[in-house]
């Protein structure tokens, strides 16, 4: 049983899934994590495809659509284990499970679910998500990429940024403006489209050179007179931004789980290294300064995990506080990942600064969890706003 879940009350099914996930993370992901990081100009999709073979790309999709039909909490258990093995692989799993598939599940037609959702659940099709643009990051409703009516279909033009798996995925759930350029409707003028990456007019850029998660593919993408039939629009043409925000509520839980997995991995490495490293004639694990570091690291990891699991239960129960709790979980877990990995580097000392040791990579990987799926600053704004909304509802 994975150590982080040893005291949890798990069903037999959860226990079996977790053992499978940890075995895969230990035997398949960890051995190649360093090479994937160093080979940053190439993208190895094979670990993600193996996740699909295990059923891990359809965990939240009902069985009638060929998924596993599991709850959010079980999914996060698994995602944490995958991130413990390699955070770069975990982000692909998170994006696929939370953003395109969940939007299709909620708002797709029967035909769209048959064509796209079922093979995505089986891991045969890898999904991606695209909202951000060069001048529309935190202010995502400011996107300018445009979809114009062309007969029954749509003609898309524009440029998107920071698309995870934007060159290697098979289909991208993409947010594009559908309102008139001379009569903008803000967030109510955006549509959600399924864009096949093999479509004429979809032009992915080169793989970005990043600080961390170098084993994950991130690209810019150009839309150049890309024609899509009406069957590629999900739901109403002006409701795409709302669909995106709903999907991101689950997505930020996935990133929180990724952050917890990163922090857990850094703690494990630091604990083991401290036991092996000898200074002043004894293992540094016996030095109070190191013991206090490890104790604080472990406490913060468990606090983040507890908040994440509370948020997951709220999400599954569709509680009114789920938005606030998901932002809290993402905020706390991402900042914990940064703090814990920094402490792990310190425990390793000079070796922690070397790329020969894994805590250096985890430190770099942790940083982006404070940025994507909503920056820490944005989540503090959401939490504060939800506090006032709760107060108003209770009066």
Name the residues annotated as catalytic.
373
Tokens of 101: 């598939």
Q: What residues pair up with 133 in beta bridges, in sequence order? A: 136
**Are the beta carbons of 16 and 34 closer than 8 angstroms?**
no
The owner of tokens 């699909």 is 52
76-87 exposure pattern, b = at least 16 Cβ within 10 A, e = fewer? bbbbbbbbbbbb
**Are the beta carbons of 146 and 133 closer than 8 angstroms?**
no
Tokens of 228: 């899509």
- Cα gap 58→70, rounded to integer Å: 9
The three-state secondary structure class of 14 is: helix
- Cα gap 272→269, rounded to integer Å: 5
Q: Which helix (H) or strand (E) holds 274?
A: helix 240-276
- Cα gap 37→209, rounded to integer Å: 11
- Residues 302, 138, 128, 243, Cα dihedral to 10°: 100
- Cα gap 84→266, rounded to integer Å: 9
**Are the beta carbons of 140 and 131 closer than 8 angstroms?**
yes
Q: Which helix (H) or strand (E) holds 26?
A: none
* Spatial CA neighbour of 30 closest among 79, 95, 83: 83
- Cα gap 235→272, rounded to integer Å: 51
């Amino acid at each position: 049983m994975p150590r982080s879940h040893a005291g949890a009350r798990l069903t037999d099914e959860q226990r079996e899934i977790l053992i499978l996930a940890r075995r895969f993370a230990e035997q398949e992901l960890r051995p190649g994590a360093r090479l994937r990081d160093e080979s940053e100009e190439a993208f190895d999709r094979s670990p993600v495809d193996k996740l699909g073979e295990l059923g891990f790309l359809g965990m939240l999709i009902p069985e009638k659509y060929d998924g596993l039909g599991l709850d959010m909490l079980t999914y996060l258990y698994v995602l944490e284990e995958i991130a413990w093995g390699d955070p770069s692989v975990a982000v692909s799993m998170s994006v696929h499970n939370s953003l395109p598939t969940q939007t299709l599940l909620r708002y797709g037609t029967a035909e769209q679910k048959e064509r796209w959702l079922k093979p995505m659940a089986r891991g045969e099709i890898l999904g991606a998500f695209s909202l951000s643009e060069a001048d529309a990051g935190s202010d995502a409703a400011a996107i300018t990429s445009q979809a114009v009516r062309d007969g029954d279909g749509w003609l898309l033009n524009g440029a998107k940024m920071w698309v995870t798996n934007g060159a290697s995925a098979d289909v991208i759930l993409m947010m594009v403006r559908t309102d008139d350029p001379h009569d903008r409707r803000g967030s109510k003028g955006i549509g959600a489209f399924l864009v096949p990456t093999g479509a004429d007019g979809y032009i992915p850029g080169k793989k970005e050179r990043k600080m961390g998660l170098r084993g994950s593919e991130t690209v810019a993408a150009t839309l150049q007179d890309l024609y899509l039939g009406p069957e590629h629009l999900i739901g109403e043409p002006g409701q795409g931004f709302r669909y995106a925000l709903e999907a991101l509520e689950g997505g930020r839980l996935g990133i929180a789980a990724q952050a917890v997995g990163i922090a857990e991995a850094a703690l494990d490495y630091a604990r083991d290294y401290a036991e092996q490293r000898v200074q002043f004639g004894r293992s540094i694990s016996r030095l109070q300064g190191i013991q206090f570091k490890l104790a604080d690291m472990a406490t913060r990891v468990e606090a983040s995990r507890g908040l994440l699991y509370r948020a997951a239960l709220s999400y599954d129960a569709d509680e009114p506080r789920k938005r606030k709790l998901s932002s809290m979980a993402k905020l706390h877990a991402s900042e914990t990942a940064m703090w814990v990995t920094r402490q792990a580097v310190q425990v390793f000392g000079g070796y922690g600064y070397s790329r020969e040791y894994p805590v250096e990579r985890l430190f770099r990987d942790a940083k982006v969890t404070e940025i994507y799926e909503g920056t820490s600053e944005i989540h503090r704004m959401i939490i504060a706003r939800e506090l006032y909304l709760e107060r108003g509802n209770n009066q």
